[in-house]
């Protein structure tokens, strides 16, 4: 199995393991649950799964479940009929319908309000939903990839996340390792971001000096790869030009 890992840097054993699992899981239609701390690459991997699936020509639709207020989330996901509620002046196509033939990425799924969890469960079980204000069942062909940095088992135990939905999502579950557990990857990531930002900012910076690399490797990276990316951008901007 080959897996196109363009833009995903990582040679550590933990990442090799992820790539092996991705090569097997990506081409299938299986639901994927991506776990991991903030900035570990959940969205990047989600896109790569879509790109490596037979749905690659179809849409990839991202929904951030935490960013949309609860009263709007339902119509955002499932759409609504004209006049379905006050303010619904026009008919709206929901994101599940927009993702037909492709993949939907449900980001921050741990934040999903309970009433909407039931509706997502129905899509997973029966591939169908009803737009708000209708009794017309709509069929949809969509693969679900979900991501969260919460511990979903804790959410289930505390009654904030439906157990049945958790088991439906927990088919192919990948936990992306935090950066501090794969220190070997820090130099290649740092050089990867250095090259990108040097090119973007038209700066001629080619080397990271050993003490700087040592510092990067001794930090604990709570923001993971996003934090490293930001630090490298800042470094490229602020490194004094040679005279």
* Closer Cβ to Mg ion, 43 or 227, answer by number: 43
- Alpha carbons 186 and 157: distance in angstroms, whole number: 36
Number of residues that bind Mg ion (CB under 5 A): 1
Output the CA torsion 125→131→132→136 (10° steps): -90
Candidates 37-45, 165-173, 175-183, 188-196: pick the segment binding Mg ion (CB under 5 A). 37-45
38 binds, among ligand ATP, Mg ion, none (CB under 5 to 8 A by kind): ligand ATP
Tell which one of 43, 130, 227, 233 touches Mg ion (CB under 5 A).
Answer: 43
- DSSP 8-state code for residue 50: H
* Closer Cβ to ligand ATP, 2 or 6, answer by number: 6
Identify any residues that bridge with 232 across adjacent strands, giving them in sequence order: none
130 binding Mg ion? (CB under 5 A): no
Residue whose CB is nearest to Mg ion in the complex, by number = 43
Backbone angles phi, psi at 182, to 5 degrees: -140, 60
Place of tokens 């790569």: 48
226 binds, among ligand ATP, Mg ion, none (CB under 5 to 8 A by kind): ligand ATP
- Alpha carbons 193 and 135: distance in angstroms, whole number: 51
Q: Which residues bind Mg ion (CB under 5 A)?
A: 43
């Amino acid at each position: 199995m080959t897996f196109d890992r363009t833009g995903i840097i990582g040679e550590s054993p933990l990442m090799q393991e992820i790539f092996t699992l991705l090569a097997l899981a990506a081409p299938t239609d299986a639901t994927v649950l991506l776990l991991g701390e903030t900035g570990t690459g959940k969205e990047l991997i989600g896109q790569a799964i879509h790109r490596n699936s037979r749905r690659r020509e179809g849409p990839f639709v991202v929904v951030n479940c935490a960013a949309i207020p609860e009263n709007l989330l339902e119509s955002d996901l499932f759409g609504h009929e004209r006049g379905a509620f006050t303010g619904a002046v026009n008919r709206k196509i929901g994101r599940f319908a927009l993702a037909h033939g492709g993949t939907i990425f449900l980001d921050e799924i741990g934040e999903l309000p309970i009433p909407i969890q039931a509706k997502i469960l129905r899509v997973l079980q029966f591939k169908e939903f009803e737009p708000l204000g209708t009794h017309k069942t709509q069929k949809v062909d969509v693969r679900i990839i979900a991501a969260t940095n919460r511990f979903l088992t804790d959410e289930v135990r505390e009654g904030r996340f439906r157990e049945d939905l958790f088991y439906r999502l927990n088919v192919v579950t990948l936990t992306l390792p935090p950066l501090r557990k794969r220190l070997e990857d820090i130099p290649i990531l740092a050089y990867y971001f250095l090259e990108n930002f040097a090119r973007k900012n038209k700066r001629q910076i080619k080397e990271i000096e050993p003490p700087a690399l040592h510092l990067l490797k001794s930090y604990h990276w709570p923001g993971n790869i996003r934090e490293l990316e930001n630090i490298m951008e800042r470094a490229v901007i602020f490194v004094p030009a040679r005279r």
